[in-house]
Amino acid sequence: MTILKKALYPVGGLGTRFLPATKVMPKEMLPVVDKPLIQYSFEEALAAGCEQHIFITGRNKNVLMNHFDHAFELQRTLDEKEKKHLLEITRDWLPKPGQVAFIRQQEPLGLGHAVWCARNFIKDEAFAVLLADEMLIPDGESSLNRMVKVHEETGGNVVAVYPVPKEKVSSYGIIDPEGEGDVVRIKRMVEKPSPDNAPSNLSIIGRYILTDAIFPYLEKGQRGAGGEIQLTDAMQRMIEDGHTFHAVVCHGQRFDCGSRRGFLEANIGYALQNPELHEPMVEIMERFLKKARKK
């Protein structure tokens, strides 16, 4: 059994799918309801026991760094006005000094490259990787919590997967599972296959627990799909060399916030979950539906 302490957040991407919103604003700072995407991931990792948070950032990401720091003027004003709740949601969740680190990925060369940039900060241990633009409202326990248990049982690498329609497989890493079930061993994985070449419809959803054995594989810097250094390719080469990978099959509502549709859906999904917003959201949707159906 190994204890998972570190969480890695690759946030150095350019966010081109969300231009012009992401021209100066990091895509991970886009809000779902009232919280930026990155804060959801951070809270998920915290709840799974991670105490050290490493962000792989790029240029234009200062706003994201500031989000994990004090906002003194704002906090003082809220304090003076006795806005307790607002102060709480602004300040009280902040990581303690020394719990966050930011590493600059000077060039956005792909997810594999982003993870490799953290190699000197991870030694003889497993770590989690969370992609902030993937969100899941699970049916029960969070996917990362389930993954931690599988990692503790196997000591190996774990990824979260979610079934997608066949025509969507070319947007994701797709696994070839051994057998069926909620936790399966992975025989093979392939990054963004065409529907005809996909080994299954189980897509990797941006939650990984990896051992530091990944770094020598990433070191090679081999380019894959889209000319990028792909994490999936490095994981596949590890499998070929006998490293163990398990997949935790997730259920619930998955939102790929890297797409406009997924992002809009996430806002609706999370608003419906919010006790204050549930009723207003239903009322808004009913009104819009009525109007749309009249056309």
Q: Which residues bind ligand G1P (CB under 6 A)?
A: 111, 131, 134, 172-173, 191, 203-206, 230-232, 256, 258
Closer CB to ligand G1P, 28 or 134, in the complex: 134
Q: How far is the CB of 171 from ligand G1P (least distance, A)?
A: 7
Q: How far is the CB of 233 from ligand G1P (least distance, A)?
A: 9
Closer CB to ligand G1P, 42 or 208, in the complex: 208
User: Contact, 161 vs 203, CB < 8 A?
Assistant: yes
Q: How far is the CB of 110 from ligand G1P (least distance, A)?
A: 8
Q: How far is the CB of 191 from ligand G1P (least distance, A)?
A: 5
Closer CB to ligand G1P, 54 or 132, in the complex: 132
Closer CB to ligand G1P, 257 or 281, in the complex: 257
Q: How far is the CB of 59 from ligand G1P (least distance, A)?
A: 18
Closer CB to ligand G1P, 28 or 191, in the complex: 191
